Amino acid sequence: MNALGRAARAEWQKLRSIRSTWWFGGGALLTMVLVAVMEAEDTASFLAREGRPVEPVSSVLEGVEWVQLIFGSFGMLAMTSEYATRSIVVTLACTPSRVRLLLAKTAVVGAAVFAAGGLVAALGTAASVPQLHSYGEFDAVQVAGRILVIAAYLALIAVLAVGLGTLIRRSAGTITLLFALVYILPFGLEGLARTLSAEFLTTVARYTPGPAGERFMAGEWAFGLVLGGWAVTAVSAGMWVMRKRDA
């Protein structure tokens, strides 16, 4: 096993040994199932009047709006908790290369959230199917594909949070910036576009993390690259700062 593999293995052992990891996973699952079921009930009531079918995964997308912050917080704390508890000193003593450390942490967080996000989305879909009654249109291949895309989106949000956490080093500042990037920035740009009659700002808003992720989950694959660009930029900025500052 090479040095990066050993660092990743150490990060995985660290993550799975702390209770907060499982609390985040359980909280994400509970939130997703509750929101998906309630959304499915509302959708079934609407479709009873409209008389047209809908994919069960559509109920899960509403849950993603909530769950993404849970997984984002998980990704953030993977780094900010190290600085808060000063365990970063021990971590760097074991893995002196800061680039290797951050790459290993990013890979482990991304993989863990991809797996957990896929499971959460699948269980949310399964819970919503009975609520849709005969209005659910189930295509196993299509549903599986959309669940994988949701898992990829949640993993990229978590990786973005790892990068921001490395850059800022404080949980409050990191979660505030993550919330602003995902929710506030696109609305702010669209508001400015209307106020200033600047249509290009509306276009810019589409390429912020939140709207880009929505279009990615809707099937516009190019926006997955946009979101990936945000995540890579955040991790790269965090890596640069990590190498310049003392622990």
- The least confident of 51-65, 142-156, 187-201 is 51-65
Helices (H), 18-56: 19-50
Per-residue pLDDT band at 18 (split at 50, 70, 90): confident
Which tokens belong to 189?
Answer: 């740009």
Query: Exposed, middle or buried: residue 173 (CB in 10 Å: 0-12, 13-18, 19+)?
Result: middle
| Predicted pLDDT at 180 | 94
CA distances from 140 to 128, 144, 189 (A): 15, 6, 38
pLDDT mean across residues, the chain: 89
| Predicted pLDDT at 46 | 65
**CB of 1 closer than 8 Å to CB of 29:** no
C-alpha span between 127 and 142 (Å, rounded): 17
Q: Does the predicted model carry a pTM greater than 0.95?
A: no
Per-residue pLDDT band at 3 (split at 50, 70, 90): confident
Q: Where are the domains of the chain?
A: 3-244
- The least confident of 13-27, 123-137, 215-229 is 123-137
Q: Give percent of the chain above pLDDT 90.
A: 61
| Predicted pLDDT at 211 | 94
Which tokens belong to 47?
Answer: 């479709």
Per-residue pLDDT band at 215 (split at 50, 70, 90): very high
| Total residue length of the chain | 247
Per-residue pLDDT band at 50 (split at 50, 70, 90): low
Q: What is the mean pLDDT of residues 107-131?
A: 92
Q: Give percent of the chain above pLDDT 70.
A: 92
Which residues, 6+ apart, have CB-to-CB distance to 61 below 8 Å?
150, 217
Q: What is the mean pLDDT of residues 50-72?
A: 82
| Predicted pLDDT at 27 | 94
Per-residue pLDDT band at 67 (split at 50, 70, 90): very high
| Predicted pLDDT at 233 | 96
| Predicted pLDDT at 1 | 61
Please provide residue 206's backbone torsions phi and psi, each rounded to the nearest 5 degrees: -65, -20
Tell me 134's DSSP state: G
> pLDDT by residue (tens digit) across 123-165?
998 888 777 765 556 677 888 999 999 999 999 999 999 999 9
Q: What is the mean pLDDT of residues 199-203?
A: 90
